[in-house]
Amino acid sequence: MITEQLLFDSRGQIGRKEFWLAHLLLFPLEIGAAFLFRVHENYLCLMDPTLPLGKVYYGALGIMAATFFFMWYCVAIKRLRDRGRGHLSFFAYAIPILGTLTALAPHYPLSCSVGIETRGFYLMAILPFWLIYFIDLGFGVHKSPASEAGDDQGSETVAPI
C-alpha cells in the first residue's frame, strides 16, 4: 500500500502489518514535530498568540496537530473496519488519546515550563488506553462479515414453488 493511501485515505481496510507500518511512520514524525514545536524553554513557545508571529506559530501548530490527527484517523478507522467495527469504536479511542495530547501540550495561558514530571503524571493515567488501542488493533485478527452474521443466515435455502 502506498504511504499516501495508508496515511491520507480513510477508505477501505488495512491489516495488522499495515497498521504497524503506519505507526512506525507516524511515531518518528510526531516526535520530530513535537520537538520542533514544543522544546522545553523554546523561544517560540513563549510567543504571544495575539502578535502576528505568534499567530503564525500557533496557526502552524494547529495545522500540524490537525494533520497528525487526520493521519491517525485514517489508519485507525481502516483497521477498525477490518476488525468489524466503525466510528463509535474510533471515538472510544480518540477521546482518551486526545487527552494524552492535551496533557503533553502547554495550556493557556501558554507556558513552556510545564515539567516532564507533570506531563508524565498525566501520561501514566492515559497509558492503559494506549495499551488497549495497540493490543486491540495491533494484534486482533480480521473479522469477516459472514462470521458475525451467524451460521444459520448463510445456509438458508428457498423451496421451489
Cell of 157: 435455502
Cα torsion 74, 60, 134, 92 to 10°: value is -70
* 31 secondary structure, DSSP code: H
How far apart are the C-alpha atoms of 70 and 81, rounded to whole Å? 16
The grid coordinates listed for 18 are: 499495515
The predicted pLDDT at position 97 comes to: 75
Task: Give pLDDT, residue 40.
Answer: 55
Q: What is the pLDDT of residue 157?
A: 41
- Domains of the chain, by residue range, sit at 3-140
pLDDT tens by residue, the chain, 161 residues: 688 889 999 999 999 999 999 999 998 888 777 766 665 556 666 777 788 888 888 888 889 888 999 999 999 999 999 999 988 889 988 887 777 666 666 554 455 655 667 667 767 777 888 889 999 999 988 885 544 444 444 434 444 44
CA 93 – CA 84 distance, rounded (Å)? 15
**Running DSSP on this structure, what letter comes out for residue 46?**
G
Distance (Å) of CA 112 to CA 38, 77, 102, 117, 118:
8, 33, 14, 13, 12
